[in-house]
Amino acid sequence: MTSPSPTPPPAALPPASAADLIAWYDRHHRRLPWRVGPAEQAAGRRADPYRVWLSEVMLQQTTVAAVKAYFEAFTARWPRVEDLAAAPDEEVMKAWAGLGYYSRARNLKACAERIVAVHGGRFPETAAELADLPGIGPYTAAAIAAIAFDEAATVVDGNVERVVARLFAIEEPMPAAKPAIRKAAATLTPATRPGDFAQATMDLGATICTPRKPACALCPWASACRARAQGIAETLPRRAAKAARPIRTGTCFVAIRADGSILLRRRPPKGLLGGMSEPPGTVWRVVGSGAAEDAATPPLAGRWRRLIGTVAHTFTHFHLELTVMRGEIAAGVAAPEGHWWSAASAVDGEALPSLFRKAIAAARGD
């Protein structure tokens, strides 16, 4: 027999209804470049699976604000999946540069090629088939199926996890709570307008049911929300504390030839910043790991100076302090094997991750 709980069980709350959320969405949805709004759908316009897919991949772990310009650039340059499939890998990596998580760009290209080669340029229409494609996991498969093909798929992203954890007052910490959250989310998913429902839930999480200081007074599901009733909405979903980020250090050599060209090379195809371009440099080692510092040997003879200070850059799982060496190289010097000189006017268009743009800017004295 259990003792009486210290807090009385919450009074019965009305169930959350998909219809209430969709009604809210019809009035408050955000207008986004990849979205076909309710009014346009009512007029018979359907979402283009290519644009849905492209936007969903770009939005993985990335903010709407950061994605917008990239989405516009990609769709202007490659309007159909066939166009993207036919594009050179290097051009896609250049266009993706700065958006982060570069395996997404590699998988994007591979996925486009597969859709053309295996599916005749038509996107598969079910979440199950979509999930077989590179770069498309459970979330993206469900989102495309629901938004582009009207499948009543359960779409669970970080927003949905937060909204559902609060709505059902799921106090189990993440990620252990994921299965319970998914089950609860499945009970909400409607047979009609599943795509709008998914986007509505994500909009709700992005604008009302935010991680900090949720605007419960404006929430269409406020009366149904168990976490709100218990006063614990802002504390959900619970998460374990994150591990401290180690610090790594390294050196990069920004060789600037007399004509202003910058010496670059390609990173290995996989792993951190895989397939992207960079100025040559040392490996990055964890501070205090006991490993000897690499001899920082410049890639070319020239007049090398160490920049004052370092370029700092924080990745998901470590922090980097990058020492930058600036080298003045004589005119006409050839690039070493595996390297190339990028003309001063071409550097901006290279497949350079943000970190190296910072380093090059510092070396140029920008």
Partner DNA sequence: AACACGTGGAG
Partner DNA sequence: TCTCCAAGTGT
Residues that bind DNA (CB under 7 A): 30, 32, 35, 55-56, 59-66, 98-103, 107, 134-141, 143, 157-159, 162, 175, 199, 202-203, 205-206, 210-212, 239, 241-242, 271-274, 313-317, 353-355
Q: Which of 56, 113, 151, 278 is catalytic?
A: 56
**Is residue 249 a contact partner of residue 263, using CB atoms and an 8 Å limit?**
no
The residues near 261 (Cβ < 8 Å, ≥ 6 apart) are 341, 342, 343, 344
Residue 269 CB: number of other CB atoms within 10 A?
Answer: 11
Query: Residue 366 CB: number of other CB atoms within 10 A?
Result: 8
56 is known as an active-site residue: yes
Both tokens of 117, joined, read 């080669």
Task: Output the CA torsion 68→143→15→238 (10° steps).
Answer: -70
Torsion angle of C-alpha atoms 190, 195, 200, 201, degrees rounded to 10: 70
DSSP character string of 230-298: HT-GGG-S-BPPPPPPPEEEEEEEEEEETTS-EEEEEPPSSSTTTT-EE--B---EETTS-PPPPP---
Q: Which token pair is 124?
A: 């598969």
User: What is the total residue count of the chain?
Assistant: 366
Report DSSP state, residue 311.
E
Q: How distant, in Å, are the alpha carbons of 70, 81, 174, 296 from that of 76?
A: 10, 12, 39, 43
Q: Whose CA is closest to 126, among 141, 108, 109?
A: 141
165 contacts 188 by C-beta, under 8 angstroms: no
Residues annotated as part of the active site: 56
